[in-house]
Amino acid sequence: MHRRTVSTVVAATAALALSACSEQPTAVTSPAIAANRNTSVIDSSSPRFIRQLAAQRGIVAFPRSPRVRPALVRLGQALAFDKILSGNRDIACTTCHLPAFETGDGNSLAVGVGGVGLGTNRTGPFIARNAPPLFNLGTMRHLFWDGRVEIGEHGHFQTPAGRQVTPAMTRVFEFGPLSAQGMFPVTARAEMRGPGNELAAIPDNDNTAIWAALMRRLGKIPKYREMFREAYPGTRFKDMTFAYASNAMAGFFVSKLTFTNSPWDRFLDGNDRAMSPQQLDGARTFLTIKCSICHTGATFSDDQFHDVAVAQFGPGEGNGPSTRDDFGRMNVTGDPTDLYRFRTSPLRNVELTAPYGHDGAFATLRGFVEHYSQSDQALLNYDPSQLESALQSTVLPTAPTILAQRDTLLNGVVLTPDVVDKLVAYMQALTDPAARDLSDLVPDRVPSHIPVDHPHPSSAQPRPRP
């Protein structure tokens, strides 16, 4: 592209950005364009212009995923679906991250230990947060809603276990923070460890002992010993820690849950007809208002933390006078400025992953997008009827405190229904068709011979919402 043309696009983009806080993006006009009669102006609705906007916003194609050796994928798949990793052998990682629900569970808040049923039919004690989807996590630097598992600029891992995640363990990690993620739900009493078993008897802060006990369980099953040796040739099972198990699950997720063939991906690759006219218009809107400041990069997440004025409800994380609040990132950093901040959600396959928000406060994608329009008023007028009935009475009266910390990027944002339509249309273009049916990921059996979760068709339907 010629320098003058690039300058024209930059000027036009700047003009569009000025409308980011308004109800509707304005037409593309710019003094720079008007002043330069010799400049070739690019049509603001053209595919070429949209691609240039995306590049300027840092929204790029998803990088090629590493090839994962098949033996590691098979081991990771078995572990992800095997309830042997839970204290009472009654819940697997995929009990809350069901392929039938596109790696979520369809509930506002996940139901952990003591739960009965699957998907939207599951009942029991809620945990504090929504079960986030597992798509395209291999490039994320912060995992979990509060980013408690992360990797720094110099490759140093930071986790809730501190030095218990040893250098020998991190050398096993092949997929960044995702390799460490699986080490922590198994240690959480409410999520998987539960009461009344040998894992529950271990002190909460002794992660090393919990992980060692899980490896002893796995080591009693000859098939698992064989699978570990095949996945890690040259390493004896007795020399392996739970880091090897967690890394294997990460390998499975990277291999089977990385999707890069959405209409948007095909559009970035040069196919001008990959998206519908409405989706193309939605892309232009998304890229010229504030959405793309935080939802950027290949995953559509800046990997940072923001207070976007979401209501707090449910059991919470033990914070605040009620102990039912959730202070978000502040629980990790101890920094008061991180109060109520949660990680920016990636948007790939987002239309499939309702409900939305760190606590699943929004039943529909449109509802979540609408929330960003005058989000202060949206929080004050939040309608809890969209929640499960057991959660509707648990909304905390913390709106003033949440709004005091609300991200200033949201100041003045107003979205008309037409703009919301365009944004939702564009986000639907981020869905890879292959992500719509993940049933082939579910194994028929696992080495422990504990039955694998197979949701009944009725549990794979969205929960009815008012």
pLDDT of residue 154 exceeding 90, the answer is: no
pLDDT band at 457 (very low <50, low <70, confident <90, very high): low
pLDDT at residue number 45:
76
Nearest to 342 by CA among 379, 374, 316, 309: 309
pLDDT at residue number 128:
97
The burial class, CB within 10 Å (0-12 / 13-18 / 19+), for 104 is: buried
Residue 112 lies in a domain: yes
One domain for residues 383 and 351: yes
Residue 50 lies in a domain: no
Query: What percent of the chain shows pLDDT beyond 90?
Result: 86
CA distance linking residue 259 with residue 270, whole number of Å: 18
Residue 53 lies in a domain: no
One domain for residues 171 and 299: yes
- Cβ–Cβ under 8 Å, residues 298 and 366: no
The pLDDT tens digits of the residues spanning 87-115 come to: 999 999 999 999 999 999 999 999 999 99
Residue 51 lies in a domain: no
Q: What is the CATH number of the domain that holds 75?
A: 1.10.760.10
CA distance linking residue 128 with residue 327, whole number of Å: 11
Instruction: Calculate mean pLDDT across residues 174-199.
Output: 98
The burial class, CB within 10 Å (0-12 / 13-18 / 19+), for 231 is: buried
Nearest to 247 by CA among 295, 291, 203, 181: 181
Query: What percent of the chain shows pLDDT beyond 70?
Result: 89
Residue 424 lies in a domain: yes
CA distance linking residue 346 with residue 348, whole number of Å: 6
What is the edge-to-edge ordering of all strands in the sheet holding 157-158?
142-143, 149-151, 157-158
Instruction: Calculate mean pLDDT across residues 312-319.
Output: 98
What's the structural domain count of the chain?
A: 2
Range of the domain at 26: 3-44
Residue 22 lies in a domain: yes
CA distance linking residue 410 with residue 402, whole number of Å: 13
φ, ψ of residue 341 in degrees (nearest 5): -95, 135
Residue 159 lies in a domain: yes
The pLDDT tens digits of the residues spanning 342-389 come to: 999 999 999 999 999 999 999 999 999 999 999 999 999 999 999 999
One domain for residues 341 and 306: yes
Longest Cα–Cα distance in the chain = 78
User: Which whole-number Å values give the CA distances from 394 to 68, 109, 355, 374, in the listed order?
Assistant: 44, 12, 17, 24
One domain for residues 191 and 252: yes
One domain for residues 255 and 395: yes
pLDDT of residue 416 exceeding 60, the answer is: yes
One domain for residues 264 and 323: yes
Q: Which helix (H) or strand (E) segment is 158 a member of?
A: strand 157-158
One domain for residues 35 and 178: no
Instruction: Calculate mean pLDDT across residues 193-213.
Output: 97
Question: What is the pTM for the complete model shown?
Answer: 0.91
pLDDT at residue number 458:
61
Residue type at 146? D
Residue 60 lies in a domain: no
What are the tokens at 300?
A: 């559509």
Q: Exposure string (b/e) for 143-176, b if CB count within 10 Å is 16 or more?
A: bbbbbbbbbeeeeebbbbbeebbeeebbebbbbb
One domain for residues 119 and 268: yes
One domain for residues 461 and 356: yes
Name the one residue in this structure whose structure tokens are 């905390």. 396
pLDDT at residue number 5:
41
Nearest to 95 by CA among 383, 401, 459, 365: 459
pLDDT of residue 466 exceeding 80, the answer is: no
pLDDT band at 153 (very low <50, low <70, confident <90, very high): confident
One domain for residues 36 and 108: no
Q: Average model confidence (pLDDT) for the chain?
A: 91
Name the one residue in this structure whose structure tokens are 């990790």. 332
One domain for residues 170 and 34: no
One domain for residues 353 and 463: yes
